[in-house]
A and B are shown apart, each in its own frame.
Chain A
Amino acid sequence: MLELRLVQGSILKKVLESIKDLVNDANFDFSSSGLTLQSMDSSHIALVALLLKSEGFEHYRCDRNTSMGMNLGNMSKMLKCAGNDDILTIKGDDVSDTVTFMFTSDLVREIFFYKIADFEMKLMDIDNEHLGIPEAEYHAIVKMPSAEFARICKVLASIGDTGDIGTANIVLRQNTTVDKPEDATVIEMNEPVSMTFALRYMNTFTKATPLSNTVTISLSPDLPVVVKYKIAEMGYVRFYLTPKMEE
């Protein structure tokens, strides 16, 4: 028996929008501690790791560990039928090969649900590779407004990486003299680090911008970059991308 209720159903919609362009199919792993997903893109140079902790759900029942393979494109289509203020319920069981998404509006919740919609989606068998990602010390960790990071990636990608139309340099300095803490840019640097990444992937990661006001970028020369979007009270979406290196 699996039953999860998320009052802010829009969170799962945003999560799907942030990962569906990177990964087509993925296993959602449910345990008593929460919902996790780990999947690589088809070229195996980028990885997404999702955590939604059980405490973040209004109701969370997972009798035994379950893995559900879902097509993220189809799941996104179903979740798009939910209003942004809808409560989302996910139901599954051990015997059927489907998962049910139920959307209920919260207009007059104490009395009755104004609208109930449910969608049943077929599950699929996915041979998911799982990578062990060790905790690491990073040379530099940058915490900055997520919208600003998205803007920078978009601008750089539009100029292109061939040098045909010229070059672009963007310097971001630490800035903590801001009214709101989420507007700050904080750079923790243990050692200088210089790395090159495929902007196409970085731009895909920024689809997670609606999930969080801030983004954390962790860099070490020997490791894939980690681009982390914290989901308040619930967990995170983390993206990993391997660097481009000179032969």
Chain B
Amino acid sequence: PIHQQVLYYYFLDL
């Protein structure tokens, strides 16, 4: 299946 990570996975949550 194809999935899509949320942005928090890549970028630091300040």
- Chain A residues at the B interface, C-beta cutoff of 8 Å: 40, 43-47, 129-134, 196, 198, 222-224, 240, 242-247
Within the complex, the shortest CB–CB distance from B9 to chain A, in Å, comes to 7
> Which residues of the partner chain A approach B7 to less than 8 Å between Cβ atoms?
40, 44-47, 131, 224, 240, 242
Size category of the B interface is: 10 to 19
How distant is the Cα of A46 from the Cα of B7 in the complex, in angstroms? 7
Of B3, B6, B13, which one neighbours A244 at CB under 8 angstroms?
A: B3
Q: Which A residues touch B3, using CB under 8 A?
A: 244-245, 247
Interface string of B1-14 (1 = CB under 8 A from A): 11111111111111
Report whether A131 and B2 are in contact in the complex, using a CB–CB cutoff of 8 Å.
no
Which among B1, B2, B5, B11 is the interface contact of A133 at CB below 8 angstroms?
B11
CB atoms of A246 and B8 under 8 A apart: no
CB-based contact B2/A242 at 8 Å: no
- Whether B2 lies near A244 (C-beta < 8 A) is yes
Neighbour of B14 across the interface among A130, A240, A245, CB < 8 A: A130
Does B10 contact A132, Cβ atoms closer than 8 Å? no
Please, which residues of chain A bring their CB within 8 A of the CB of B11? 47, 131-134, 224
CB <8 Å contact, A198 and B4: yes
Q: How far is the CA of A130 from the CA of B8 in the complex (A)?
A: 10
Cα-based distance from A222 to B10 in the complex (angstroms):
8
Which residue on B lies nearest to A243, using beta carbons? B4
Say yes or no: A44 contacts B2, CB within 8 Å. Answer: no
Pair B4/A223 contact, Cβ less than 8 Å:
no
B2: contacting residue among A40, A45, A46, A196, CB under 8 A: A196
